[in-house]
Amino acid sequence: MKVFLAGGGTSGHIHPAVAIADELKKQDEKAEVLFCGTAKGLESQIIPKMGYPFKVIRAAQLPMKPSMKTVKAVREFLAGRKMCRKLIREGKPDVVIGTGGFVCSPLIAAAHKEKVPIVLHEQNAFPGRSNRMMSKYAKTVCTSFPGIEHYFSKKAKIVFTGNPIRGVFSTVDRDACREKLGLSEKNTLILAMGGSLGARTVNQAIVELAKVITDPDVRIILSVGKQRYREVVEEAKNWPKSIEVFEYISDPETYLAACDLFIGRAGAITCAEVQAVGAPSVLIPYPYAAQDHQTYNAKTFEDAKAGILLPDDQAVEKLPGIVKELLEDKERLDTMRKNARGLAIYDAASRICDEVKALAR
């Protein structure tokens, strides 16, 4: 079986694509996988490091409002589609997979023209423009959240598969992780993460939280992201000493499984990882995310009583009170942990691959 894959712009589109490719290779070591993406996109840095062949194509993001950039985006799309049609004719893939982002649109459109079956995967509770637009060409659309079928073309088969993440999140042991981090039964760990680029609002809210959490048995770990680490370390000189500032956490599964409460953004990958380890959470959606999709992601946690949705503009003021209330209610935290796990789908990549193989036959 030969598969072409595209998805990029952000890690939230790239890592699910890699997880799908890994699962395909796991199930069939003879499977051939080719990734397509832009030269300047994040995918051009990540995919080759994962050991997969990568072809550069042309693509550009379509502006939300018509402008001169719209003309450029259309030109890039048409040029990219032409490149992809040539790649498809030469490579003859059995199936083409798109995981969202403007990067995948030329490949999906080309696959449609060349009559190659298409599978899309959507990571968010509010689908991105590319997947919504391209769903009219897809045989199957795999979703990470239930109840979003109405956003896609009625021509496509919609399958709720979940969001594929690294397998370690499904096997990690909470007690072992707490022991690894030196946490005793009396310790409470609050883990705050702003994502790979950091989040100023999350940082500020954690500072306010640390001012009211005086219990020495409560540890607060804040991962600020590589981009803003130096700036934050300088600011942290004036912060409460209870905050442990990390530049980057290379094994988030350890800290997520060990924590008693997670505080952070509501990106699709973060949400899937929080679900997998069953971490109670306060989710602060990034307010400038496309179509405000992080708010939709966080709302699924709130609706399931697995987490709390806290708007960005209220986080600094309200987070301390919310956290104090949660820490005083262990029963509620236990319920949130159970409900978060109830949202998790541990075999998402396998489910997606089942759909891919069904079309490749």
Q: What is the DSSP string of 126-170?
A: S--HHHHHHGGG-SEEEESSTT-GGGS-TTSEEEE------THHH
CA distances from 275 to 163, 175, 185, 257, 313 (A): 10, 17, 23, 10, 25
Question: What is the crossing angle of helices 268-277 and 293-303, to 10°?
Answer: 20
CA distance 9 to 233: 28
User: Tokens 């640390």 — which residue?
Assistant: 210
Is 14 in contact with 42 (CB distance < 8 Å)?
Answer: yes
Dist CA 178 CA 187 (whole Å): 9
- Copy the structure tokens of residue 143: 């979703």
Q: Degrees (nearest 5) of the Cα angle 340, 346, 351? A: 130
So what's the pLDDT on residue 248?
81
Pair of tokens at residue 224: 């600020």
If residue 119 lies in a helix (H) or strand (E), which one and from where to where?
strand 118-122
The CA distance from 257 to 259, in Å, is 6
pLDDT at 264: 96
- pLDDT for 295 equals 97
| Cα–Cα dist 28/167, whole Å | 17
> What is the structure's pLDDT at 198?
53
What pLDDT digit, counting tens, does each position of 46-68 carry? 999 999 999 999 999 888 788 88
CB 38 within 8 A of CB 58: yes
Q: Which two tokens stand for residue 152?
A: 């896609």
Tell me what pLDDT residue 231 has.
79
Q: What is the CA radius of gyration of the chain?
A: 21
> Residue 235's pLDDT is what?
79
H/E stretch holding 71 reads helix 68-91
Phi first, then psi, for residue 140 (nearest 5°) are -140, 140
Tokens standing for 134?
């391209």
Contact predicate 322/257, CB 8 Å: no
Give me the pLDDT at residue 95, please. 99
CA–CA dist 338, 336 (Å, integer): 5
Instruction: Render 223-255 in DSSP notation, one character per residue.
Output: E--GGGHHHHHHHHTTS-TTEEEES--S-HHHH
Q: Which domains does the chain have, with CATH numbers?
A: 2-166+346-360 (3.40.50.2000), 168-343 (3.40.50.2000)
**C-alpha to C-alpha distance for 74 and 81, rounded to whole angstroms:** 10
Q: What tokens were used for 140? A: 């199957």
> Measured between alpha carbons, how far is 234 from 59 in angstroms, rounded to an integer?
39
pLDDT value at residue 196: 53
Looking at residue 45, its amino acid is Q
For residues 228 and 148, is the Cβ–Cβ distance under 8 A? no
Can you read off the two tokens belonging to residue 284? 């602060």
- The SS3 assignment for 243 reads strand
Phi, psi of 99 (to 5 degrees): -115, 20
- Give CA–CA dist 119/96, Å, rounded: 6
From first to last of its 361 residues, the chain has per-residue pLDDT tens of: 999 999 988 888 999 999 999 999 999 999 999 999 999 998 999 999 999 999 999 999 888 788 888 999 999 999 999 999 999 999 999 999 999 999 999 999 999 999 999 999 999 999 999 999 999 999 999 999 999 999 999 999 999 999 999 888 989 999 999 999 999 999 999 999 976 555 788 988 998 999 999 899 999 999 987 777 887 788 778 788 888 999 888 899 999 999 999 999 999 999 999 999 999 999 999 998 888 999 999 999 999 999 999 999 999 999 999 999 999 999 999 999 999 999 999 999 999 999 999 999 6
pLDDT of amino acid 303? 98
